[in-house]
Chain A
Amino acid sequence: MRRSDLPIPLLLALCAAGIWALFATAPAAVVQDRFLVVPWGWTRALGALILAIGGVAGSAWLWGRSRRPLRAGRYALTAGTHLFLWTAIATTFYPVIYLLAVSFNRNDTLAGSLPREGPLWVRAGILPDPSTVSLEQYRKVLSATHVVPYQWIFVAVAVAGLLTLIFVSMAARAERIPGHRADGYRRTAGFVLFGALAALVVSIGPGQFYTVAADGTRVPAASDRTIVLFIRNTLLVSGMTGLFAVAISTTAGYAFARMRFEGRYQTLLTFVFVQMFPGFMALVAIYYLMSYLDLINTFTGLILAYSGGAIAFSAWIFKGYLESISPALEEAARVDGATRWGAFVRIILPISVPMLLFIFLLQFINTYSEFILANTLLIGQENWTVGIGLRNFTTGRFDTQWGALAASAVLGSLPILAIFYSFQEALTGQYQSGGVKG
């Protein structure tokens, strides 16, 4: 070790000692009105943060100075950036971690009194008591789900696909397999997962959710035990809406992007302005339209009700994307004798697959979180989506079972998390390539 390296461990040790001292000399926590208070606690926390930042940045600066004197500042800045980003991540993740902790907890309410024993953060209620960890809530929430034998195959295939995806991603990051290979594997695994999930979604029915009464009869399960059914309903509705949006809006986007015709501007304006109407305020009108078409309490009706807004927005995005693609490809195809429609299907669609995926995912994610329209058009509990089911935990009754709510929330978020992260490149990549213009 060079002599100039000595100050770094010294600096780090000093900072660590400072932080330890700040916490060790903190006054005992006082109970004040059912809260645990450390008087002037924020000064210590702030001090610790400053020491941490100073220590890390300072060490980085010193380290930089010994290696590359001119770039020392850059090193400090980088170290500071890392620290800041981790702080941001910690802040963002706190609610998520708390939710997970509540879901893995035996106790059922959020409003219990503070525990007596345990480390400070447990006694203060910052996080639930880890000693009461259990799978009780998940067991409760999944207890009424009965999987028909052939569906286990789909589940197995889906799990296999998911594991492959994760494994390949990790291997690619560790650079064990070349990038393009990894992409190929990921794509196949993604399709396998998607296919298995689609099969599951279509095949699961409300009849599989029951509890068995004392005399052996099947009693349909109550709403706080059927989160899997709600997830299935939501996946079905969101998936179909996404497919619908893609199917209908691509031709419209193409027309706007490539063709010039009288009334193009006006139609474009109509598309833009019509989508500004807060869709669900026409709730009563939509309801009567659906009941006239005999589509009340059906998923078809709900999907069609979503389609109006979905199509306008998707067409606009697709148009923007197409405008950034050179028309030379189609020209070449037309010169070779293809019709306009042929060029569209054989040239444009294949190269816009990333954008189509993006549109699908965007609509999927948007409809996943929509619930006012779903709440009105879907009446019975067997048709509820995740949002309605979760809301029923807090408004449909007087006593909120927070543990079951948390478990259901975690389960309800898993599909969209999985989809979001599997297609993260597609989702965020569109913004990167500048494909989305106003």
Chain B
Amino acid sequence: MPGKHRLLVVDDDPLNARTLADIFTIKGFEVDTADSGPNALEMIHNQSYSCVLSDIKMESMNGVELLVAIKAIQPGLPFILMTAYSDDELILQGIKEGALITLIKPLDIDRLLGHIAHILHMDVIF
């Protein structure tokens, strides 16, 4: 089942993006990474994804801004926010804008995978 799904990981920390992508690959997902919000938007334009995972703190376009931009084009695309800042106001804003899950780094991978399985199983979000 996971083989059908393609995920997009957005993080300006290349190691974070890569390691997370590797984990998803091991778990049988197709994964792409983007190092910025604008790049992510371009990729979404050219490729359809089952779910987007994005860091919040990024240069030029933060995760919540990316979320808003994506919701404008693909309102149904599930979106997960990740951040190292547990008390960030952006988290609340992200939830308000429709992020399904916000996770604090370091990530609890099992939990994250559980969430993704759940989301993808739901098929239609909102």
Tell whether A pairs with B: no
Identify the B interface with A (CB < 8 A).
none
Identify the A interface with B (CB < 8 A).
none
